[in-house]
Amino acid sequence: MTVRRKYEENFFRFLSFLFTAIIVFALVQIIWTIAKKGVPSLSWQIISQEPKGGYYFGKDGGILNAIAGSFYLAVSATVLAFIISLPVALFMNIYLIRYQRLLIGIRFFLDVLWGVPSIVYGAFSFTLLMYLGYKNSLGAGTITVAAMITPIMIRAMDEVVKTIPIGLQEASLALGSTKTETAYKVFFREALPGFATAILLAFGRGIGDAASVLFTAGYTDYIPHSFSEPTATLPLAIFFQLSSPIEEVQNRAYAAAVILTLIVLVLSVSARLLKPRK
Amino acid sequence: MPSTIELKQETEVKVESIPAHVPIVKIDKLNVYSKGTHILKDVSTVIPKNKITVLLGPSGCGKTTLLKCLNRLTDLYPDLKINGSIKIDGEDIFDAGRDITTIRQKMGLLLQRPYPLPMSIYDNIAYGLKLKGIRKKKIVNAKVEKHLKEVALWDEVKDRLKTSAQRLSIGQQQRLCLARGLAVEPEIILADEPSSALDPISSKVIDEEFLRLKSDYTIILVTHSLRQAKRLGDNIIFMYYGEIVESGPAEQVFENPQSKILQEYLRVGH
Ligand SMILES: Nc1ncnc2c1ncn2[C@@H]1O[C@H](COP(=O)(O)OP(=O)(O)O)[C@@H](O)[C@H]1O
Ligand SMILES: [Mg+2]
């Protein structure tokens, strides 16, 4: 090796190392900060009770309303998004496989939607749903979050279905299956392990997002009992408590952040474990 | 309208009475183009019933394309422009429209690599039966057993019928795919270099099964292996650059090749 190439190699290796270190350092810092402030405020009470009178001034109670609300919202949005995404992902890869140009266009379009900031979905849904006469509610929040995570889910599922070899489609058609049968009886099963990853990915995105539900889900101290009631969510619970001047309430915001981080961490790790190995 | 239906019935009746030497597949002036390349050029031939017809030729000469035309899997590839006619049992497959699924069930397909369906061994065979409306447990069980025996797989898998087919060895998977195809009771078996990905023992098993199956089925076998063509072929269709160069009974084609290209192919192949 010439001296120059040696220097180059060392320089770029150093750069990669440096930036990796920065990323890891930032991540550790975030988790450390949240944990330092949040873990002391974690208690059985905070995850098992709804806010009591005076909770926001540092009195008794917990954020069960937000934990339950977030789960309700994320689960229903994920279910709704899945119902929409499944036929689209299968349709793209079975019916549109003949139209590669169109497919490229659709994928590009979905990727753009993926990149749209969630506050835009929030503002758009707010305008639309208010125009239609909906009020802030679990239902409105569900629709908003579903709209936000659907492009993510379609593309994640699409990437899974795309890897299925055309030979399997030929084999299925040769047996006399229609395209629909091929989609739902053959491709669906083949893609199922990969779909689990896509679902968890979208769920994680849905449960952690604050901006999309800011205008549409409302906020309440109670656990919602129907889609027409407003609901609290963890990200908003963090947001509201953090804006309090009282330190004890602020620390509870960090405790909520610890809970949310743990949920998302568990989801990401499961998504990784479920990912089919090639 | 009634007259066409009558006509169809008439042709079907004729099919029943076809003697064994009468063609089951008739290909007439078939041309396939793809973006300026002419993949199949004026291919016309007939394929007789209950014989093994071998499509022989070097890689890239159009054997797979011809095979996929027969059950219109070419529909999957938008680049391919096709004209000409292919009649199976007297029915032109290009006129079939959406009813192509029924025509496809007349043909079992074996690809170069096995593609078992993502389900159990049992369900791989039951799948095709269900498509044909056969759901009675007893009948399905009996057929699963019958067709697994037909491909000499029954003894190897009878204790684990409910396990995933994708866990079988490649050779077992290929035999399962054959059994799966036979279960829909086709008349024709289309096989595209079915043993090229297999170990010698599995490929010998497949060869022997073909020899046994030909009394009940018409087999169209694509291969570039002279050894396999000589061992199995009753009739040989030799293709080169998208054209049928020579075709006829195996003895005649191998003992007395007419064209320079085939003579060369036979010489180099030895
Ligand atoms: N879907 C397709 N689109 C474009 N060209 C194709 C397609 N399928 C096959 N071809 C071309 O047609 C020719 C014949 O291919 P093929 O039928 O696979 O040959 P063989 O099976 O004899 O090896 C090749 O040159 C191949 O590149
Ligand atoms: Mg081929």
pLDDT value of residue A276: 61
CA end-to-end distance (rounded Å), chain A: 36
Question: B101 and B149, same structural domain?
Answer: no
Across the interface, of B73, B102, B127, the residue whose CB is closest to A173 is B73
- Three-class SS state of B41: strand
Cβ pair A190:B73 closer than 8 A: no
Cβ pair A170:B73 closer than 8 A: yes
| Residue B95 burial (10 A CB sphere; 0-12, 13-18, 19+) | exposed
pLDDT value of residue B7: 43
Across the interface, of B71, B107, B117, the residue whose CB is closest to A172 is B117
Across the interface, of A100, A169, A177, the residue whose CB is closest to B131 is A177
B60 near A CB under 8 A: no
CA separation for the pair A151, A81 (Å, rounded): 9
Q: Give the closest residue to B240 by CA, choosing from B50, B41, B58.
A: B58
pLDDT value of residue B98: 63
| Cα–ligand 2 centroid distance for B192 (angstroms) | 7
Q: Is residue B47 part of a domain?
A: yes
Across the interface, of A100, A175, A189, the residue whose CB is closest to B180 is A175
Question: B127 and B212, same structural domain?
Answer: no
φ and ψ at B151, to 5 degrees?
-105, 20
Residue B23: band (very low, low, confident or very high) from pLDDT cuts 50, 70, 90: low
* DSSP string computed for A39-56: GGG--HHHHH----TTGG
Q: Is B52 left (phi over 0), alpha (psi -120 to 50) or beta?
A: beta
pLDDT value of residue A136: 86
CA separation for the pair A256, B54 (Å, rounded): 71
pLDDT tens-digit map of A110-160:
999 998 999 999 999 999 888 888 888 898 999 999 999 999 999 999 999
CA separation for the pair B266, B270 (Å, rounded): 7
HEC assignment per residue over A88-130: HHHHHHHCHHHCHHHHHHHHHHHHHHHHCCHHHHHHHHHHHHH
Question: Of B185, B202, B221, which closes a domain?
Answer: B185
**Domain range for residue B164?**
117-185
Contacting residues of B for A278, CB less than 8 Å apart: none
- Three-class SS state of B226: helix
- Three-class SS state of A264: helix
pLDDT higher than 90, residue B1: no
- Three-class SS state of B185: coil
Q: Nearest chain A Cα to B112, which residue? A: A167
- The two structure tokens encoding residue B163: 């396990």
Question: B155 and B44, same structural domain?
Answer: no
**Whole-model pTM above 0.80?**
yes
- The two structure tokens encoding residue A62: 């917990």
Question: B100 and B155, same structural domain?
Answer: no
Q: Is residue B39 part of a domain?
A: yes
| E strand spans, chain B | 23-34, 37-48, 52-56, 80-88, 91-92, 107-110, 188-192, 218-223, 235-240, 243-249
Interface probe for B, chosen from A175, A184, A186 (most Cβ of B below 10 Å), is A175
pLDDT value of residue B3: 43
**B85 with B130: CB under 8 angstroms?**
no
pLDDT value of residue A129: 86
Residue B8: CB partners within 8 Å, gap ≥ 6? Answer: B91
User: Which residue has a Cα nearest atom 1 of ligand 1?
Assistant: B77
pLDDT higher than 70, residue B10: no
Residues B60-66: what's their mean pLDDT? 92
Choosing among 1.10.150.20, 1.10.3720.10, 1.10.1530.10, 3.40.50.300, the CATH entry for A44-274 is: 1.10.3720.10
pLDDT value of residue B16: 39
Contacting residues of B for A170, CB less than 8 Å apart: 68, 73, 76, 109, 111, 115
Question: B253 and B191, same structural domain?
Answer: yes
Which mean pLDDT values do the consecutive 10-residue runs of chain A (278 residues) have? 87 95 94 90 84 75 88 95 96 87 94 92 90 86 93 95 93 93 93 91 90 86 87 90 87 91 89 69
Contacting residues of B for A186, CB less than 8 Å apart: 117-118
pLDDT value of residue B270: 57
Across the interface, of B73, B113, B118, the residue whose CB is closest to A174 is B73
**A166 with A91: CB under 8 angstroms?**
no
CA separation for the pair A171, B124 (Å, rounded): 11
pLDDT value of residue A61: 79
Residues B1-14: what's their mean pLDDT? 42
pLDDT higher than 90, residue B222: yes
CATH number at residue B194: 3.40.50.300
Interface probe for A, chosen from B80, B117, B176 (most Cβ of A below 10 Å), is B117
Residues B68-79: what's their mean pLDDT? 90
- Three-class SS state of B218: strand
DSSP classification of residue A186? I
Place of tokens 């981080």: A261
Cβ pair B108:A174 closer than 8 A: yes
Question: B100 and B193, same structural domain?
Answer: yes
Cβ < 5 A residues, ion ligand 2: B 64
Question: B193 and B178, same structural domain?
Answer: no
Place of tokens 């199995």: B232
Tally A–B CB contacts below 8 A: 66
Cβ pair A176:B105 closer than 8 A: yes
Question: B206 and B168, same structural domain?
Answer: no
pLDDT tens-digit map of B152-200:
889 999 999 999 999 999 999 999 999 999 999 899 999 999 988 888 8
Q: Which has the minimum average pLDDT: A257-261, A263-267, B147-151, B266-270?
A: B266-270
| Cα–ligand 1 centroid distance for B47 (angstroms) | 22
Q: Give the closest residue to B52 by CA, choosing from B171, B199, B216, B205.
A: B216
CA separation for the pair B177, B68 (Å, rounded): 17
**B247 with B262: CB under 8 angstroms?**
no
DSSP classification of residue B99? G
Q: Nearest chain B Cα to A166, which residue? A: B76
Question: B83 and B203, same structural domain?
Answer: yes
Atom of ligand 1 nearest to the CA of B59: 23
pLDDT value of residue A278: 45
- The two structure tokens encoding residue B49: 């019933």
pLDDT value of residue B14: 39
Chain A contacts in chain B segment 159-198 (CB below 8 A): 177, 180-181, 184, 190
Domain count, chain B: 2
| Residue B248 burial (10 A CB sphere; 0-12, 13-18, 19+) | middle
pLDDT value of residue B15: 40
Cβ pair A171:B127 closer than 8 A: no
CA distance B186 to chain A (A): 10
pLDDT value of residue A277: 55
Q: Is residue B86 part of a domain?
A: yes
ipTM field: 0.86
Question: B252 and B170, same structural domain?
Answer: no
Residues B59-71: what's their mean pLDDT? 92
Average pLDDT value for chain B = 86
Residue of B34, B76, B82, B222 with the most ligand 1 atoms within 8 Å of its CB, for mutation:
B34
pLDDT tens-digit map of A188-207:
999 998 899 899 989 999 99
CA A125 to chain centre: 17
**B52 with B228: CB under 8 angstroms?**
no
Q: Nearest chain A Cα to B189, which residue? A: A174
Q: Which ligand is nearest to the CA of B57?
A: 1
Identify any residues that bridge with B46 across adjacent strands, giving them in sequence order.
B26
**Count of C-beta atoms within a 10 Å radius of residue A253:** 22
pLDDT higher than 90, residue B97: no
Q: Is residue B211 part of a domain?
A: yes
Question: B198 and B96, same structural domain?
Answer: yes
Question: B253 and B207, same structural domain?
Answer: yes
Residue of B38, B55, B64 with the most ligand 1 atoms within 8 Å of its CB, for mutation:
B64
Question: Of B160, B185, B210, which closes a domain?
Answer: B185
User: Which residue has a Cα nearest atom 26 of ligand 1?
Assistant: B60
pLDDT tens-digit map of B98-110:
688 888 999 999 9
- According to DSSP H, which parts of B151-224 are helical? 154-157, 170-183, 200-213
Pocket of ligand 1 (CB under 6 A): B 34, 39, 57, 59-65, 77, 79-80
Amino acid at A57: F
